[in-house]
Structure formats: C-alpha cells, structure tokens
Amino acid sequence: MKRYSILALFAALVACQSNPGGYTINGTVTGDLKDGTAVYLKKANDQNQPVDVDTALVKNGSFTFTGKAEMPELHYLFIEDTRGNIPLVLEEGTIEVTTQKDSLAYADIEGTPQNDLFSDFLKSSRDLSRRALSMNEDMRDATIHQDTAVMNSLRDEYFELQEEAKDFELNYAKENPDALISALIIDKILTTGSLPKEEIQELYDALSPDIKKTKVGQKIKDRLEKEAKVSIGSKAPNFSAPTPSGKELALNDVLGKVTILDFWAAWCKPCRAENPNVVRIYNKYKDKGLNILSVSLDRNADDWKKAIQEDGLDWNHVSNVQYFDQIAELYNVNAIPAIFILDDKGIIVAKDLRGEALDQKIGELLQ
C-alpha cells in the first residue's frame, strides 16, 4: 500500500511538471442545452473586437478547454445561440466555470488566483447594480403614490450610491495591486482621462511586477511613456502630412508666436460644434501671431475638404485620411476633439482647452 502511494505521488508530480503554463477550463452549464452546442473561447484584439481562440463542444452539460497561458489575460466564453458571455482570466491552472444558460453574466468562476480576485470584484460590482435597481423600483413606487418625503430620501441615497460606485473601481485598483482587473481599471481610467496623468502614473507604479508584465500592464506603460512625450512642458513632436491640395506640410513650418494644434474630423459632432469658437478666436488673434494647424482624422478626403469649407476654417490643414493614424498615435490622441497649444519654440504650454478657456489662454500668451 505504501509503495502504491509513492508511485501515485510520483505520477502526479510528473503530470504537473509536464504542462508548465498550461490551463484547463472546466465548464458546467445548466438549462436546456443540446449536446454538440459550441462554446467559443475568445479575447479582444487591438481594435477591441472579439477574436476566436478555441472552440469546445458541450456534452452532458459540460465542456473543457486546455492550452497554454503565458501571462494572465482577460478572455470571454460565448455559447452558441445564447445571449451574453462569461468574462474570465485565462491563466495557468484549473479554472472552474459554473453557469446557467440564460444568465451567463452571473456565472461562478473560481480555481485560480486571478479568477478568485476577479470574482470578488464582480460580486461587489453586482451588489452596487442591485442596490441601484432596487432604488429605481422604490423611486417608481414613490412617484406613483406622490410620496415626496420618500422621493427626496431616495434621491439623496442615490447620489451617495453614485459617489460610492464612482470610487469603487479606483479603490479596488489601489487596494489590489496583484489583480489583473486593477490593471484593466487603470487602462480604462487612462482612456477616459478621468484622473490626472500623475495619479494614473502612481496607480501603475503601485502594481505588482507580475501584473506590469501582462499585456495590459505593458500597454499602460507604453501609453504613459507616449503621454509623457506630449505632456505640458515637452517639445511637440514634429510631423508632416498632405494638405487638401496634396502638398506636404510640417508642423515646424507653421509655428507662430502661438500655435493651436487641433485634432478633429468631419464626422466628429463635438469638433464641429466647437469649430465656430475656434474660428472666432482665430479671427481675433491671427494678426497678433496666432497660427492653427488642424489635423483631420477623417477616412474620406471629400468629407474632410467639404467640412473645412462649410465651417470656414481658413487656416492650415493636413490629413493622411487614415482615421486615428500615426500622427494621432504620436500625440497619444484616442478621442477628439483634442487640442495642444504651443509657444513660438514648439513647447506644449496647454492642452484640451475649449470655449472661453481657450480664448483666455491664447490672449494671455500673446500679451
């Protein structure tokens, strides 16, 4: 008996060492699901679109995936002809997924460190959602019965819940530097610009070395480094692109005492809404040394040229007509309108000002 136990232990050790970096996903689905139903393992590509990684078939309500996972990375499970998906962290180890066919969003995921952390995050997030839903139902009842006291009380509670929800993800990222979800939260904050770059840098610096090595960790690092190159006080990177007439024009060729570098597009409604203000500012200060170079992120040259004429943008324009192209990447622009204000030496002195704030800053710089 003792000999058998030692052999069994040896076999188990060999089995564990034969698949380093390997993962297994064991899935169980309840509900009316036929044998042979396909389950798709997917992940998001660089354009944030789901791409297939692997496919498994359901048998007796179960399915299995196996493979290699070099780094923890967010993936998704889709079940054929079923609404929704199951997010999980693909990483080394055995991941247990239990779900009901008609409620994939509430699947239980456990078995590996990152998925345990992810599950805790999702449970807290769902609790906030349930509380908000309950308040909405109570508010609806109070409105029907014209109960003003309850309505006012619920309104105050709802504002408090909004603040709690707003702080939830940020606090989670601060308190869980070992969690992949923390890096995903930081990446979202960086994209939305909801925090100053200095605070985002602090959040990134606090992440564990292992999380910094992940794909999303490296993405944050690269974006922060790019952002530093176009931060206030930095020299604006030079570039050139075709004008509407096809002539090549460089940023350094059009620097004035003050230069507005404006990223926009004909299809961008906020850009078009701001254009009259930029026209007014240009006409006000052009004789005092204000230049503007607008960089269009259009896909269609005719749309670009038509918008210039319609909006009366009587200054320098360039575009590669390639949507968010290499110039946008150079300036870390992932949303428009985006404005950089440069001094006569091409140093970035302000960013993303609009309306009266833009007018006031240009006036200050040209005095």
pLDDT single digits (tens) 306-330: 999 999 999 999 999 999 999 999 9
Rounded to an integer, what distance in angstroms lies between the CA atom of residue 139 and that of residue 152?
Answer: 9
User: Are the C-beta atoms of residues 75 and 42 closer than 8 Å to each other?
Assistant: yes
Rounded to an integer, what distance in angstroms lies between the CA atom of residue 227 and that of residue 223?
Answer: 6
User: Are the C-beta atoms of residues 346 and 252 closer than 8 Å to each other?
Assistant: yes
240-366 sits in which CATH class?
alpha beta
Tell me: domain 2-110, CATH 2.60.40.10, correct?
yes
pLDDT the model gives residue 19: 52
pLDDT at 13 over 50: no
pLDDT per residue as tens digits for the range 269-307: 999 999 999 999 999 999 999 999 999 999 999 999 999
pLDDT the model gives residue 146: 87
Where does the chain hold its CATH 2.60.40.10 domain(s)?
Answer: 2-110
Q: What is the mean pLDDT of residues 229-250?
A: 95
Dihedral angle of Cα 281, 286, 291, 294, to the nearest 10 degrees? 50
Strand-pairing partners, residue 339, are 262
Rounded to an integer, what distance in angstroms lies between the CA atom of residue 307 and that of residue 170?
Answer: 40
pLDDT at 2 over 70: no
**Above pLDDT 90, what percent of the chain?**
72
Task: Decide: helix, strand or coil at residue 57.
Answer: strand
Rg of the chain, C-alpha, whole Å: 27
Rounded to an integer, what distance in angstroms lies between the CA atom of residue 180 and that of residue 214?
Answer: 8
Neighbouring residues of 340: CB distance < 8 A, sequence distance ≥ 6: 230, 236, 260, 261, 331, 348, 350, 351
pLDDT at 347 over 60: yes
Taking alpha carbons only, the member of 74, 71, 69 closest to residue 85 is 74
pLDDT per residue as tens digits for the range 134-158: 888 888 888 888 888 888 888 888 8
User: Are the C-beta atoms of residues 262 and 318 closer than 8 Å to each other?
Assistant: no
Tell me the DSSP string of 245-280: TS-EEEGGGG--SEEEEEEE-TT-HHHHHHHHHHHH
Distance, first Cα to last Cα, the chain: 93
pLDDT the model gives residue 20: 64
pLDDT at 14 over 50: no
Rounded to an integer, what distance in angstroms lies between the CA atom of residue 78 and that of residue 65?
Answer: 13
Residue 67's CB: how many other CB atoms inside 10 A? 14
Residue that the structure tokens 């800053």 belong to: 361
Specify the length of the chain in residues.
367
Dihedral angle of Cα 160, 165, 171, 173, to the nearest 10 degrees? -170
Where does the chain hold its CATH 3.40.30.10 domain(s)?
Answer: 240-366
